Amino acid sequence: MEPIHEPILDINGLTKVYPGGLKALDNVDLTIRRGEIFALLGPNGAGKTTLIGAVCGMVRVTSGTIHAFGENLSDSWRTARKRIGLVPQELGFDMFDTVERQIGYSRGLFGRAPDPARIEEVLRSLSLWDKRDEEIRKLSGGMKRRVLIAKALAHDPELLFLDEPTAGVDVELRRDMWRQIDSLREQGVTVILTTHYIEEAEEMADRVGVIDKGRLLLVDEKAEMMKRLGRTEAHFILASPIAQIPDALGSYPVTLADDGAILCYRGGDGTGKGKAEVAAIATALVHSGVAFTALEQKESSLEDIFVDLVERQGLAA
């Protein structure tokens, strides 16, 4: 057993150029700690599935190294694979098989001894126990997805990849999935999930990485990221339009909108500075004789941060 501080996954300078020249991964460095829930966020085509494929042995990388469980994957592939689980985006199993047989088979495939009690536990946790004798093809789309997860858990992986686990599933299944991930966290399983749903990252992840055009733009503790990149937005709805911003507000990041009927503030750093500035602006407006009838205020979500980052990256590219 490797020391507790050993990262479970250590990716260095990973680059993937597909035949035809598309660079899907561009010099990616990423270290994943044992036991964490890591969310990889990125728009379509950002390189998320390619990154997972590289670790799970489905994508041959162009350059760079991957260490898993302390060993270079290219030397330790067979042993490492048994410790890794993958819930892929695409459904892939024998549709004519029954649920229980398929899950048991999957466990065997990874060299684990049969363990009907464990299989029962996995199936129950995903509300699949009642469906264990059904042919998979007869299940609904959501149920098929649950089978995919059961299949990935059947060999008790220590490192689990979930590629878009909740794309196209209903709210109930999404909640179930989140509960499932929570219980995996309690069991000490390390989870890397990719998602378009910022809400998912915000709800589940300890750390978040943002990837776009194959480049890992940022990796940070979720809370830190929101603090560091968070913004406060406030709209002062003015009693009557003004032609220019009063001098007293000159030092604040404010603009006029809607022909001078709204004064917009966008600033702060997620540490409370924004709120304090909004209060100061309110006072300054009153002192300048500008009345407002309403104040709408909003703290940025991870979604705003994400959109901001990707847009800025787009401008820089």
Is residue 87 close enough to count as binding ligand ATP by CB under 6 A? no
Among 6, 22, 29, 172, binds ligand ATP (CB under 6 A): 22
Identify the CA nearest to 121 among candidates 153, 93, 95, 160: 153
Using CA atoms, how far apart are residues 46 and 164, in angstroms rounded to an integer? 13
Cβ 19 to ligand ATP shortest distance, Å: 7
Cβ 23 to ligand ATP shortest distance, Å: 8
Using CA atoms, how far apart are residues 209 and 227, in angstroms rounded to an integer? 15
Is residue 50 close enough to count as binding ligand ATP by CB under 6 A? yes
Span of 40-48, 115-123, 128-136, 249-257 interacting with ligand ATP by CB under 6 A? 40-48
Is residue 42 close enough to count as binding ligand ATP by CB under 6 A? yes
Nearer to ligand ATP, 18 or 77 (CB): 18
Binding mask 1-20 for ligand ATP (x = CB under 6 A): -----------------x-x
Among 8, 11, 14, 24, binds ligand ATP (CB under 6 A): 24
Using CA atoms, how far apart are residues 84 and 67, in angstroms rounded to an integer? 13
Task: State the first-to-last Cα distance of the chain, in angstroms, to the nearest integer.
Answer: 43
Cβ 18 to ligand ATP shortest distance, Å: 3
Cβ 214 to ligand ATP shortest distance, Å: 7
Among 6, 29, 45, 124, binds ligand ATP (CB under 6 A): 45
Cβ 128 to ligand ATP shortest distance, Å: 26
Span of 41-49, 119-127, 197-205, 219-227 interacting with ligand ATP by CB under 6 A? 41-49
Is residue 49 close enough to count as binding ligand ATP by CB under 6 A? yes
Q: What number of chain residues touch ligand ATP (CB under 6 A)?
A: 12
**CB 293, CB 224: distance < 8 Å:** no
The count of other CB atoms within 10 Å of the CB of residue 108 is: 12
Among 44, 187, 244, 293, binds ligand ATP (CB under 6 A): 44
Is residue 125 close enough to count as binding ligand ATP by CB under 6 A? no
**CB 25, CB 72: distance < 8 Å:** no
Burial 199-225 (b: 16+ CB within 10 A, else e): ebbebbbebbbbbbbbbbbbbbebeeb
Nearer to ligand ATP, 59 or 242 (CB): 59
Across the beta sheet with 190-195, the strand order is 84-87, 159-163, 190-195, 37-41, 207-212, 215-221
Identify the CA nearest to 38 among candidates 181, 192, 164: 192
Is residue 168 close enough to count as binding ligand ATP by CB under 6 A? no
Using CA atoms, how far apart are residues 266 and 261, in angstroms rounded to an integer? 16
Nearer to ligand ATP, 47 or 157 (CB): 47
Using CA atoms, how far apart are residues 101 and 115, in angstroms rounded to an integer? 12
Is residue 166 close enough to count as binding ligand ATP by CB under 6 A? no
The percent of the chain in helix, strand and coil, each rounded to the nearest 5, is 40, 25, 35
Is residue 46 close enough to count as binding ligand ATP by CB under 6 A? yes
Identify the CA nearest to 181 among candidates 39, 8, 297, 43: 39
Is residue 48 close enough to count as binding ligand ATP by CB under 6 A? yes
Is residue 104 close enough to count as binding ligand ATP by CB under 6 A? no
264 phi/psi in degrees, rounded to 5: -105, 135
Residue ranges binding ligand ATP (CB under 6 A): 18, 20, 22, 24, 42, 44-50
